């Protein structure tokens, strides 16, 4: 019979691993929206209304601290990045993805996860969405209310009522969304849409790929992340795949090509299936 102590031990190990990963990923300052840099020289009002001086545009392009969208045809207008239960329930009926830590250039602790929405049920008078997460072949079933609170879970065939499970489930579910949370930590979505300090990117390829029965046009980007998003002396280069599924876009691949400085911990991520609701 399943014991709550076993569940607690499992969640504790997972949360510790996740905390280490998020701590390493989020070691830089959080991304904040910034205003465009002001001109050094005083410009007459008539000149401001005119188009930008080509010389000024060339000088701006040479700034190494900021990024600009370099491909006018590449547009991200309906971004989906599920960082929690409510977002995944609202947007997807199925997802399958994998992620791994990268230590000293080698993948470690590779994890394959899948999510499936199994409809709605009433548990002790509470309307709940039924969610099944499979972690490396082991299924975890959750009944979640409209506020994202777990009212019941099933683990190893054993039903665990809400008064025991909500806090434990929160830790497990947080761990499942690590790659998506890391995307938010680095502010990649904002960097694809507007000038962002510490991020430079360029599109390197575009091709059509399948994710289960769904096709997407995947644009791969080379993204260089440095200060102020990372500590001084540290810089990372990642390949990001952004999939355009027609009605929405989401990150389908994340692979660190290089990390310099003391940052020896990164993450890889790959989406293999997506079924929107």
What would the pLDDT profile of 81-131 be if each residue is shown by its tens digit?
998 888 999 999 999 999 887 777 677 788 899 999 999 999 989 999 999
The confidence score (pLDDT) of residue 11 equals 38
Judged by DSSP in three states, 233 sits in coil
pTM of the shown model: 0.70
Q: Is 133 exposed, middle or buried (0-12, 13-18, 19+ CB in 10 A)?
A: buried
How many whole angstroms separate alpha carbon 88 and alpha carbon 107? 26
The answer to whether residue 75 scores a pLDDT higher than 50 is yes
Judged by DSSP in three states, 6 sits in helix
Hey, which of 7-21, 88-102, 158-172 has the most confident mean pLDDT?
A: 88-102
What would the pLDDT profile of 248-275 be if each residue is shown by its tens digit?
999 999 887 676 765 544 678 999 999 9
- Which residue is associated with the tokens 């969640």? 11
**C-alpha distances in angstroms, 89 versus 7, 100, 119, 186, 207?**
24, 24, 10, 24, 28
What would the pLDDT profile of 171-229 be if each residue is shown by its tens digit?
777 777 878 887 887 778 888 888 888 888 999 999 999 999 999 999 999 988 888 87
């Amino acid at each position: 019979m399943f014991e709550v102590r076993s569940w607690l031990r499992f969640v504790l190990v997972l949360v510790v691993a996740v905390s280490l990963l998020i701590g390493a990923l989020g070691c830089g300052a959080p991304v904040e929206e910034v205003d465009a840099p002001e001109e050094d020289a005083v410009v007459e009002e008539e000149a401001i209304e005119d188009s930008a001086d080509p010389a000024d545009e060339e000088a701006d392009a040479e700034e190494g601290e900021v990024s600009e969208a370099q491909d006018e045809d590449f547009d991200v207008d309906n971004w989906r990045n599920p960082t929690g239960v409510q977002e995944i329930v609202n947007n997807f009926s199925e997802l399958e993805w994998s992620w791994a830590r990268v230590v000293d250039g080698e993948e470690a602790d590779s994890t394959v996860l899948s999510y499936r929405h199994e409809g709605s049920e009433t548990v002790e008078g509470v309307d709940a969405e039924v969610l099944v997460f499979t972690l490396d072949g082991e299924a975890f079933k959750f009944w979640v209310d409209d506020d994202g609170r777990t009212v019941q879970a099933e683990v190893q065939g054993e039903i665990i009522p809400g008064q025991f499970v909500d806090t434990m489930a929160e830790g497990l579910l947080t761990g499942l969304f690590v790659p998506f949370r890391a995307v938010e930590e680095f502010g990649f979505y904002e960097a694809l849409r507007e000038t962002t300090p510490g991020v430079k990117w360029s599109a390197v390829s575009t091709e059509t790929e399948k994710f289960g029965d769904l096709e997407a046009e995947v644009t791969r980007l080379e993204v260089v992340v440095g200060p102020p998003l990372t500590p001084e002396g540290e810089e990372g280069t990642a390949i990001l795949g952004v999939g355009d599924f027609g009605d929405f876009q989401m990150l389908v691949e994340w692979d660190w090509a290089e990390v310099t400085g003391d940052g020896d911990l990164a993450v890889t991520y790959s989406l293999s299936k997506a079924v929107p609701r």
